[in-house]
Structure 1
Amino acid sequence: MSLLIQGPKQPGNDIDVYLQPLVDELMELWSTGIHVYDAYKKEYFQLRAMLFCTINDFPAYGNLSGYSTKGKKACPICEENTHSIWLTNCKKPAFMGHRRELAETHPYRKKSDLFDGLLLNIPGKTKDGIKVRRDMELMNIRPELQPKDIDGRTTKFLPPDCYTMSKVEKTKFWQCLHGIKVPSGYSANIRKLVSMKDLKLLGMKSHDCHVLMTQMIPIAIRGILPNRIRHTITKLCLFFNMIHSKVIDPDVLDEYQRDIILTLCELEMYFPPSFFDVMVHLVSHIVGEIKACGPVFFLRYMYPFERYMCILKGYVRNLNRPEGSIVEGYASEEVIEFCTNYMDGFKSFRIPQSRHEGRLSGQGILGRKTGYSNVVDYQEAHFNVLQHITSIDLFIQEHMSLLRQQNRKKSAKWLAKQHKKTFSEWLKDKVRRTLPNIDKWSKLWDSPLNIVPISRI
């Protein structure tokens, strides 16, 4: 850590004061550089460096860059060209109108009534309420969803939309997530995060949300929502799954961009305007960032840093001075690791050992397991290896034709069973008769995996 945050509060918009020493060093590295010795060439050279990118969430981006990430011009890429509308009752802007990025000949261009025309309805989390419905009424869109009066009551009736789940559908959705099991280290145990009583998720981290979005939601909503809603949500999940690949073909990025714009337009057709905050709009710029900075997986992933922040928070022993505790714990760990590496062959003292320790070198972690195979398993393994060697195909055909000639009245099932039972011994005898000097290879027949000399034959 470059500096220690003084005081109990975060610096907020004063982060520039906190980062000023780092900014000075970056300016020096960019303008004049520093004199560095090259041990390989045995000469000095002027080292220069530049800041490639920063990794942060959207609110922190506003603090670092000074750009206002709130209001009707909240998009830092569109800036003055940001398209937004003000929702009077919700009292916030909605970032819609992604049809303008479609091709001029696209049919959605002419269907303005469908656009200028949530799922789980969790209390406190839903984007669909009386204020949203009143905004729809002011915008003169979706008259079938506008609030309706109830005789003898002051409350309004809100007609259910196509994206709203019934109680039975929500129960099926949560039961599916509750039954999912993932490998160790893949994500958190989703089963422990699902509350079947309240039908909602509790205590999820950002990486768990990412796994839920890209892998689990498309499975959990199958057979629940209408086809057009389910397909749109699935396409959005697949988009996030594709852009987080380790390798991305640059030729398909334009296709990804067209697909995500079309998906956003379809979301505008089905979901209320309050759903489209600036975070939804920023999805349309992800492909452009990949073109400029490369795949997200390598240099711009937030999850490794967030996981490491969990480790740093574990160093806190004095709650009145959390930053100082982190610095002291980090420094202590560095010293212990240096001493451990210096004394090679000694086990670490009071440092927990990773459950994955030794896996790359082939060492097991669950204890030794000894298995014994019988003769039948051995012969079956030997036979399966022989069947997958290309140079043995002619011998297989010859043996099968010989069995058919000798057993004309037998069924195909019996011939296949007999072929599996006698092929190995028949091949041994044939090779020995054909090549008298094959005895020197006789030991190779003891293992079903040592078949290389036969392929040479």
Structure 2
Amino acid sequence: MWPVVLMPYNLPPWKCMKEQFFMMSLLIPGPESLGNDIDVYLRPLIDEFKELWETGVETYDAYSGETFQLHAAVLWTINDFPAYGMLSGWSTKGKLACPICNKDTCSLTLKNGQKQCYMGHRRYLDPNHVWRRSKKFDGKQEHRSEPKILSGEDILEQLTHVANIIFGKPPNKRKRKRGEQELNWTKKSIFFELPYWRTLKLRHNLDVMHIEKNIMEILLGTLLNTEGKTKDNVKARMDLELMGIRKELHLQRASSIKLPDGYASNFSRCVNVKEGKISGMKSHDYHVFLQRLLPIAAHGFLRKDVNTVLSELSNFFNQLCSKTVDKVVLEQLKKDIALILCKLEMIYPPSFFVVMVHLAIHFPHEVELGGPVQYRWMYPVER
């Protein structure tokens, strides 16, 4: 079942994310992914939102004993990343998987790993930063500026190139091939029928809970060298060779192929974790591990540069999830996460940088627009 829940933000902060104040607006049956068809189920809800904005609903005020015309607006959606794609109409897969970077998403198809990686975080550094001229990252210098954040009007302009979508399963069961001008758009979202939707600066939230969990899962899998979860393997080392970077980590070929010590090193030898233990952890376990335990657990087992950047990553998420928001701190977090991701690019292989790792670069900006993450992540919903 797919629940669609409303949170009323006009309650006090200590009440608005409590279960007893949630409003179940829809319950969509079926175990399969809805894809574009989610708009069909949202139709009655969107019609009610339009009525609440334009004409309102007569409502009784128990305190004054009078009736008034109640109006309401949708601020944003809270959802995981796959649902982000369904609600926004931007596919969160492929070369342009980042909905915020849009057509300027920096991605690379790994020849041996056969997957997309999303590096290029030097674009977010100061224009004169020394790392922009370095070739240690991907063998090239970086002169591009950071991607422009698109307005609602910019998005609607792109959507004019998207063909009309017919909902439901096509008779031939073949997916429609998108044209070059359609970018990663799969449809025009039904939310754009709301008169104010195009003017909002934050429409769909990146879910800190799931992204934080995915980043920590990737880190643990690589540090513990867990089979099937590590991003450091033979194919990853072959991709390093093709890119011509980090020669000390290239495969050593003699009578057999050997992987030089790199990312796991002493940590995987000293920490005894049974296979499958990581997959048994839940989102909040990863949350606590990343923000509180990782710097302590890794201290003494990893190189100084690796331990330092992991401590910085831990501190970033700790401050990001703070219950209070300080504009000065947010500006610093923007600079910090760009440096942290660049440091990780110098340490970990390209296969490490899945889209979930890249999305962390956008968190401080979303906090600027929407406030503390406690009111915009999925912990209250999934709990």
Q: Runs of 5+ in structure 2 lacking a partner?
A: 1-23, 141-221
State the TM-score, normalized to the length of structure 1: 0.58
Tell me how far 1:241 sits from its aligned partner: 0.7
Matched, 1:243 2:285: no
- Check conservation: 1:171, 1:199, Cα contact below 8 A: no
Tell me how far 1:136 sits from its aligned partner: 1.6
User: Which amino acid in the other structure matches residue 158 of structure 1?
Assistant: L
- Check conservation: 2:224, 2:271, Cα contact below 8 A: no
User: Which amino acid in the other structure matches residue 267 of structure 1?
Assistant: L
1:45 maps to what in 2? 68
- Check conservation: 1:148, 1:157, Cα contact below 8 A: yes
Q: Secondary structure at the match of 1:19?
A: helix
2:280 maps to what in 1? 203
1:291 maps to what in 2? 368
Query: 2:110 and 2:94 mapped to 1: Cα distance?
Result: 12
Q: Which sits farther off after the overlay, 199-208 or 255-264?
A: 199-208
Q: Which residue of 349, 352, 355 corresponds with 1:275?
A: 352
Structure richer in helix, relative to its length = 1
Tell me how far 1:171 sits from its aligned partner: 5.3
Tell me how far 1:132 sits from its aligned partner: 1.5
2:229 maps to what in 1? 125
Query: 2:30 and 2:354 mapped to 1: Cα distance?
Result: 33
Q: Which sits farther off after the overlay, 222-231 or 134-143?
A: 134-143
1:136 maps to what in 2? 240
1:300 maps to what in 2? 376
Query: 2:352 and 2:41 mapped to 1: Cα distance?
Result: 35
User: Which amino acid in the other structure matches residue 227 of structure 2?
Assistant: P
Tell me how far 1:54 sits from its aligned partner: 1.5
Query: 2:377 and 2:30 mapped to 1: Cα distance?
Result: 29
- Check conservation: 2:53, 2:71, Cα contact below 8 A: yes
The Cα offsets for residues 114-137 of structure 1, whole Å up to 9 and x where unpaired, read as 443722210000111122122222
1:95 maps to what in 2? 118
Tell me how far 1:202 sits from its aligned partner: 4.1
Change (3 A) 1:217 1:28: same
2:41 maps to what in 1? 18
Tell me how far 1:5 sits from its aligned partner: 3.1
Tell me how far 1:291 sits from its aligned partner: 0.3
Q: Secondary structure at the match of 2:77?
A: coil
Query: 1:112 and 1:89 mapped to 2: Cα distance?
Result: 21
1:146 maps to what in 2? 250
Matched, 1:222 2:323: no
Structure whose alpha-carbon radius of gyration is higher: 1
Q: Which residue of 255, 269, 272 corresponds with 2:332?
A: 255
Q: Percent identity?
A: 51
The Cα offsets for residues 210-263 of structure 1, whole Å up to 9 and x where unpaired, read as 111111111101111011000001100110011111112112211111011101
Change (3 A) 1:8 1:251: closer
1:170 maps to what in 2? 268
User: Which amino acid in the other structure matches residue 252 of structure 1?
Assistant: V
1:300-339 counterparts in 2 under 5 A?
A: 300-307=376-383
Query: 1:263 and 1:296 mapped to 2: Cα distance?
Result: 20
Bigger RCO of structures 1 and 2 (CA < 8 A, at least 6 apart): 2
Change (3 A) 1:217 1:302: same
- Check conservation: 1:11, 1:18, Cα contact below 8 A: no
2:143 maps to what in 1? none
Change (3 A) 1:11 1:89: same
Query: 1:258 and 1:113 mapped to 2: Cα distance?
Result: 20
User: Which amino acid in the other structure matches residue 270 of structure 1?
Assistant: I
- Check conservation: 1:90, 1:135, Cα contact below 8 A: yes
Query: 2:36 and 2:370 mapped to 1: Cα distance?
Result: 26
User: Which amino acid in the other structure matches residue 305 of structure 1?
Assistant: V
Q: CA RMSD in A?
A: 2.0
The Cα offsets for residues 154-208 of structure 1, whole Å up to 9 and x where unpaired, read as xx222221x2223xx335445xxxxxxxxxxxxxxxxxxxxx4448424111111
